[in-house]
Amino acid sequence: MSEFLMVRDALVDWLAHGLVHASWWQVLIYTLVVTHCTIASVTIFLHRAQAHRALDLHPLPAHFFRFCLWMTTGMVTKEWVAIHRKHHAKCETVDDPHSPVTRGIDTVLLRGSELYRAEAKNQETLTKYGHNTPNDWIENHLYTPHSALGVSLMLIINMALFGAIGLTVWAVQMLWIPITAAGIINGLGHYWGYRNFEAADASTNIAPWGIIIGGEELHNNHHTYPTSAKLSVRPYEFDLGWAYIRALEMVGLAKVKKIPPQLKLGEVKPQADSKTLEALIANRYEVMAKYAQELRRAVSLELRHLKDQGAEGTAKYADMNLARRWLHRDAEKIPQAVKANLANAVQQSPALNQLVAMREELRQLWTRSNVSAEQLVSDLQAWCKRAENSGIAALSEFSHKLRSARA
């Protein structure tokens, strides 16, 4: 009887405290560390190194990340990479595995992991998009055929360490990627947030500081420069994943292959030439982002004039306020419901009308595929001449910057 009581007491003690008798804050720290290791493994290994080949990893961190993913997610590298590459190739179309534009934000937020599992069964997706992923012994004999074994071992380890609360820790680990990546990034990252660049899709930056999800919060930046190892582009943005990559690179455990291009400015050329055109096309997203700033300034000036005239609360002011939000966007990205309002706003200001028209003309330099390079250079020269003769200071200054661009 005494032995039974001893076993019972030992079992109760283990369920209550685990083997290590950790306090609540120690369990919390452990949970934060292991979930963060999972995030780092996804953003550095799966996303940037594997899916986009933005960097090469030394075998040491690569194997650490692979082991961590096996233990904490059960995801198979080839499946994740293939699904993500297909997302970029078919973004915002019916073939996109997890677009809130086509499937609805509620579906992606609440059922993102289900969408992942369904697409992982599509052999065509794996064959077409899953190339150049790990194909070594450990992948073929452990990680892929026994993907559920790792998370099962994680459950045993957590419960051994912390007792009953270890089950809760394990549950948080299992939910971490479905919520943060499958839900928040794939859902909100194409639905809500701010945009630095007019990427072809609906991607947004959820927050300027990419810490909790390792930099993946900067989703519009990523969709603009998908093969970049660095996701932050503005001085006020922070990409924690990039900080880890730089640390690995400094000790010889990683090699960065690509980062976002930077528009270089030099002396203003008398006339734009082929090198100017080359620089503008290579940095087209940054060029259009700077033009968007000029457009927003022009709209803000018009709003100030209307306010000085006591026109607040009028239809004119409301239209111009809408213009501040939408006028710098590509025409196909502007909702049909506000196009009439924007047309009314543009009609109020000849300067604004010309800024909008010349934005589209500038964009044509890299959207037309049936025009020779010589013709594009001639068109750029003509654009600069019209801008500098427009009498609009913002256009003239912008043209001078374009003529100073260097490849």
Q: What is the pLDDT of residues 80-107, one digit of tens each?
A: 999 999 999 999 999 999 999 899 988 8
pLDDT at 31 over 90: yes
224-236 mean pLDDT:
97
Which range (154-168, 178-192, 232-246) has the least confidence? 178-192
Q: 350-367 and 274-282 are packed helices; what angle lies between their axes, rounded to 10 degrees?
A: 90
Q: Is residue 124 part of a domain?
A: yes
pLDDT at 231 over 90: yes
Q: Is residue 267 part of a domain?
A: no
Q: Is residue 264 part of a domain?
A: no
Q: Do residue 325 and residue 396 come from a single domain? A: yes
Distance CA 65, CA 72 (A): 10
Domain total in the chain: 2
47-65 mean pLDDT:
98
Structure-token pair, residue 386 = 């019209």
Highest average pLDDT, of 18-22, 136-140, 316-320, comes from: 136-140
From 85, 84, 81, 63, select the one nearest 142 (Cα to Cα).
Answer: 63
* Averaged confidence pLDDT in the chain: 93
Burial letters 316-339, b for 16+ CB under 10 A, else e = bbebbbbbbebbbbeeeebeeebe
Q: Is residue 266 part of a domain?
A: no
* Model pLDDT, residue 200: 86
Structure-token pair, residue 254 = 């990683």
pLDDT at 1 over 70: no
**Residue where the block lists tokens 């959207």:** 367
Structure-token pair, residue 149 = 């074994």
* Model pLDDT, residue 22: 92
Q: Is residue 261 part of a domain?
A: no
Task: Determine the 3-state secondary structure of 242 from DSSP.
Answer: helix
321-333 mean pLDDT:
88
Q: What is the pLDDT of residues 261-292, one digit of tens each?
A: 988 989 999 999 999 999 999 999 999 999 99
Domain extent, residue 52, equals: 2-256
Which range (128-132, 230-234, 295-299) has the least confidence? 295-299
Q: Do residue 197 and residue 304 come from a single domain? A: no
Name the phi and psi angles at 253, rounded to 5. Answer: -105, 5
Q: Do residue 159 and residue 13 come from a single domain? A: yes
From 316, 287, 318, select the one nearest 383 (Cα to Cα).
Answer: 287
Q: Do residue 281 and residue 246 come from a single domain? A: no
Q: Do residue 246 and residue 310 come from a single domain? A: no
* Model pLDDT, residue 206: 96
Quick one: residue 335, left, alpha or beta (phi over 0 = left, psi -120 to 50 = alpha)?
beta
pLDDT at 44 over 80: yes
* Model pLDDT, residue 362: 93
Highest average pLDDT, of 179-188, 223-232, 332-341, comes from: 223-232
Q: What is the pLDDT of residues 117-151, one digit of tens each?
A: 999 999 999 999 999 999 999 999 999 999 999 99
From 301, 304, 289, 299, select the one nearest 398 (Cα to Cα).
Answer: 289
pLDDT band at 18 (very low <50, low <70, confident <90, very high): confident
pTM recorded for the entire structure: 0.90
Percent above pLDDT 90 for the chain: 78
Q: Do residue 285 and residue 231 come from a single domain? A: no
Distance CA 101, CA 93 (A): 8
Q: Are 198 and 292 in contact (CB under 8 A)?
A: yes
Task: Determine the 3-state secondary structure of 255 from DSSP.
Answer: strand
pLDDT band at 332 (very low <50, low <70, confident <90, very high): confident
Q: Is residue 372 part of a domain?
A: yes
191-203 mean pLDDT:
92
Q: Do residue 251 and residue 282 come from a single domain? A: no
pLDDT at 169 over 80: yes
123 class by beta-carbon count within 10 Å (0-12 exposed, 13-18 middle, 19+ buried): exposed
Q: Do residue 247 and residue 278 come from a single domain? A: no
Write the single-letter amino acid at 347. Answer: Q
Q: Do residue 97 and residue 10 come from a single domain? A: yes
pLDDT at 364 over 70: yes
Q: Which of 256, 287, 303 is the last residue of a domain?
A: 256
Q: Which of 203, 229, 256 is the last residue of a domain?
A: 256
Q: Do residue 159 and residue 92 come from a single domain? A: yes
227 class by beta-carbon count within 10 Å (0-12 exposed, 13-18 middle, 19+ buried): middle
378-398 mean pLDDT:
94
Q: Is residue 268 part of a domain?
A: no
Q: Which of 256, 287, 315 is the last residue of a domain?
A: 256
Q: Is residue 238 part of a domain?
A: yes
Q: Do residue 251 and residue 281 come from a single domain? A: no
* Model pLDDT, residue 11: 76
* Model pLDDT, residue 330: 87
Distance CA 61, CA 57 (A): 7
Q: Do residue 198 and residue 288 come from a single domain? A: no
Name the phi and psi angles at 133, rounded to 5. Answer: -105, 165
